[in-house]
Amino acid sequence: METLDQIFVLAKHWLVARVPEPLAWLATILLSIGPLITVFASCFAITTIVERKALGRIQNRFGPNRVGPFGLLQPLADGLKMLIKEDLVPAQADKVVHLLAPFALVVPAWLTFSVLPFGRNMTVIDLDAGLLFFFAVGASSELAVFMAGWSSRNKYALMGAMRGIAQMISYEVPLVLSTVAVVMSVGSLSLPSIVEAQSAYVFGMPTWHVFTPWGLSGFILFLIAGAAEANRAPFDLPEAESEIIAGYLTEYSGFKYALFFMGEYLGLFAITGMGITLFLGGWTAPVSFLATTPSWFWFFAKFGAIIALFIWVRGTVPRLRMDQLMKFAWKFLVPLTLVNLVVAAFWHFSGTWQFPGAIFARWLLGAGFIGGAYVTLGRALHTNQFPPRVYAYAE
């Protein structure tokens, strides 16, 4: 079983041994980047088709089933179409910045994958400050959005870029704060050590962070803020078709549009990967007797589950208006993540309670505190709504 778990690591070492000595360092780099790019590019292709079929099924229709059996070759067709389509650049556009914008979005998106632990010692770069690297690289996507919006010299593009940046900045705060709770309880920024901290089993049950009160709410907050960061589902206002054509993507077509499209999905994959590593125990198996099964399998199983959740939410929740978006971030998510931090601190320091019902007492207190904050903040979110409408002439 051990070899199956380490199959990729052994394969890589075997291949690197084949390469003549002076080029060995190049081989190791390529052999870790190559599979990463192929795996996540195919994940991108699979997710596009799975998403369209699932959304179809949610809306009582089939979803693409023309290209290939059951429509499985649809991503190939989309990719080909994107390559063949004419790449229009508006005359007034700032050519250089217009060209650089998609690469400024895709390159950081790829960089964020280099830190995620996909399996037991299957992390491309085991950075000591891995989490900080993830957010540092993630923060540069706002710049790419601005470059795209401003350089296409189009009012809708600029409006979309402004909205996109405002949304990304205001949702980055809860995203980072919800991870601070994990860093506080684990005590390290390095992602493999965070996964290590969650790999113990207490009579069969894994000690994932999601099974603690602050972990559960932190995970939900992380996914919500992550969805907003990746312009997904209810927060896809910046490139909402019905609102402002395609926001900052208005003046892009052909390959550059495909790059943007891929950049967004890669952002979503990065957020999902980070959510799994921080809260769902990375590559650890859900039950103790399954611990011998390959670790990377569990990473991608959880990965599929969370992507399904994102697709499910996308099929259900209508798009948020700009002011609702901002109010939700600053008046609800940020205070709730701060409360979450407090509960994480309480959980950490109450770890030494020894009396019999300690675990339930801690759980009760933690969950009660977060639940109370959730309800009051939720109610506060809706108090200054519009006054109840009075119909003068209604009987």
Partner 1 sequence: MRMLSDIPIAFLMIAAVTLVSAVCAMSLRNLVHCGLCLVLTFVGLAATYLHLSAEFVGFAQVLVYVGAVAILIVFTILLTRNAEVTLSPVSQSSLVGLGIAIAVCGSLVLPLVTSPSLRRLPAQSLAPDAQVQRIGEKLMAQYVIPLEALALVLTAAMIGAVVIAMRDDPERNDPSPSPQNQKDTGSVSNSPAGTALNSSSSTSSSQRP
Partner 2 sequence: MLGTGLIQGLMETAKNFVGSYHDEARLVTVQYPEEKIPAKENSRNFPFLVYDGEDPQAGLRCVACQICEKECPPKCIYIVKSKDKKPDYTGKAQLYPATFDIDVSVCMSCQICVEVCPFDAIKMDQVFELSTSDRFATLLLKKTTLAKPNAYFHQIHPTDAAEIDGRLAEEKRKAEEKAKAAAAAKAAAAAAATTGTDPKAPPVGGAAKSPTN
The footprint of partner 2 (CB under 8 A) covers 54, 57-62, 312-313, 315-317, 332, 374-375, 377-379, 381-382
Closer of 172 and 243 to partner 1 (Cβ)? 172
- Cα–Cα distances in angstroms (integers) from residue 213 to residues 74, 260, 273, in the given order: 42, 37, 21
Residue 147 contacts partner 1 per CB under 8 A: yes
Other Cβ atoms within 10 Å of 276 Cβ, number: 27
Rg value, the chain, Cα:
23
**Which 8-state DSSP code applies to residue 65?**
-
Tell me: does residue 143 bind partner 1 (CB under 8 A). Answer: yes
Considering only residues 54, 105, 109, 165, which one is a binding residue for partner 1 as defined by CB under 8 A?
165
Q: How far is the CB of 36 from partner 2 (least distance, A)?
A: 31
Q: What is the residue-wise DSSP string for 334-367?
A: HHHHHHHHHHHHHHHHGGG--STTHHHHHHHHHH
> How far from chain centre, in Å, is Cα 109?
11
- What minimum distance in Å lies between the beta carbon of 363 and partner 2? 20
Specify the stretch interacting with partner 1 by CB under 8 A; choose among 45-53, 142-150, 308-316, 339-347. 142-150
- Indicate which of partner 2, partner 1, none lies near residue 142 (CB less than 5 to 8 Å, by partner kind): partner 1
CA angle, 201 then 204 then 210, to 5°: 60
Residue 384 C-alpha from the chain's centroid: 32
Query: Which of partner 2, partner 1, none is residue 379 near (CB under 5 to 8 Å by kind)?
Result: partner 2
Which one among 6, 74, 190, 217 touches partner 1, defined by CB under 8 A? 190
Enter the DSSP assignment of 328.
Answer: I
| Residue 127 near partner 1 by CB under 8 A | yes
Size of the site for partner 1 (CB under 8 A): 30
Distance CA 179, CA 210 (A): 12
139 touching partner 1, by CB under 8 A: yes
- Which of 206, 218 has the CB closer to partner 2? 218
220 close to 370: Cβ distance less than 8 angstroms: no
The residue within the footprint of partner 1, chosen from 80, 129, 290, 305 (CB under 8 A), is: 129
**Residue 320 sits in the site that holds partner 1 (CB under 8 A):** no
188 forms part of the interface with partner 1 (CB under 8 A): yes
Instruction: Identify whether the C-beta of residue 249 lies closer than 8 Å to the C-beta of residue 101.
Output: no
* List of E strands, 200-325: 201-202, 205-206
Nearer to partner 2, 153 or 327 (CB): 327
Spatial distance between the Cα atoms of 281 and 390, rounded to a whole number of angstroms: 52
* Helix/strand/coil for 202: strand
State the binding partner of 280 from partner 1, partner 2, none, CB within 5 to 8 A by kind. none
To partner 2, the closest distance from the beta carbon of 335 in angstroms equals: 13
Q: Judged by CB under 8 A, does residue 142 bind partner 1?
A: yes
Can you name the residues that pair with 206 across neighbouring β-strands? 201
* 345 forms part of the interface with partner 1 (CB under 8 A): no
Answer with the entry of partner 1, partner 2, none that 389 interacts with (C-beta below 5 to 8 A by kind): none
Give the Cα-Cα-Cα angle 308, 314, 316 (nearest 5 degrees): 105
Question: In Å, how far are 74, 80, 85, 118, 284 from 252, measured between CA atoms?
Answer: 21, 16, 11, 33, 41
Partner whose binding site includes residue 140, from partner 2, partner 1, none (CB under 5 to 8 Å by kind) = partner 1
Buried-exposed string 315-353: b where 16+ CB fall within 10 A, e elsewhere: eeeeebeeeebbebbeebbbebbebbbebbebbeeeeee
Q: Which does 188 bind (CB under 5 to 8 A by kind): partner 2, partner 1, none?
A: partner 1
Q: Does 113 bind partner 1 (CB under 8 A)?
A: no
Asked whether position 167 contacts partner 1 by CB under 8 A, the answer is no
* Residue 206 token pair: 């894994």
Nearest distance in Å: CB 303, partner 1? 25
Residue placing its CB nearer to partner 2 in the complex, 26 or 375? 375
- When CB distances are held under 5 to 8 angstroms depending on the partner's kind, the choice from partner 1, partner 2, none that residue 137 binds is partner 1
Confirm if 337 and 174 have CB atoms less than 8 A apart. Answer: yes
Which of 172, 236, 239, 264 contacts partner 1 by CB under 8 A? 172
Please report, as ranges, the residues that interact with partner 1 according to CB under 8 A: 94, 97, 127-129, 132-133, 135-137, 139-140, 142-143, 146-147, 150, 153, 155, 158-159, 162-163, 165, 169, 172, 187-190
